[in-house]
């Protein structure tokens, strides 16, 4: 039971961190595009 709980918690935190990284990358792309224009 503890193993299942820890794996689910790990996947949840990993997924949220991954989403934050993707959002930061998208923001950087938008900033670079606006500078080029």
Q: Is the pLDDT of residue 19 over 70?
A: yes
Query: If you average pLDDT over residues 7-31, what whole number do you get?
Result: 86
DSSP string, 7-34: HHHHHHHHHHHHHHHHHHHHHHHHHHHH
Burial state string for 3-16 with b = 16 or more CB within 10 A and e = fewer than 16: eeeeeeeeeeeeee
Q: What is the pTM for the complete model shown? A: 0.49
Calpha distance 31→7 (Å, rounded): 36
pLDDT at 6: 92
pLDDT digits (tens, 9 = 90+) for 4-13: 889 988 888 9
pLDDT at 36: 65
User: Average pLDDT, whole number, for the chain?
Assistant: 83
Give SS3 for 37: coil
Q: Is the pLDDT of residue 33 over 80?
A: no
């Amino acid at each position: 039971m503890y193993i299942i709980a820890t794996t689910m918690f790990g996947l949840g935190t990993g997924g949220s961190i991954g989403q934050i990284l993707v959002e930061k990358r998208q923001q950087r792309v938008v900033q670079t595009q606006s500078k080029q224009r």
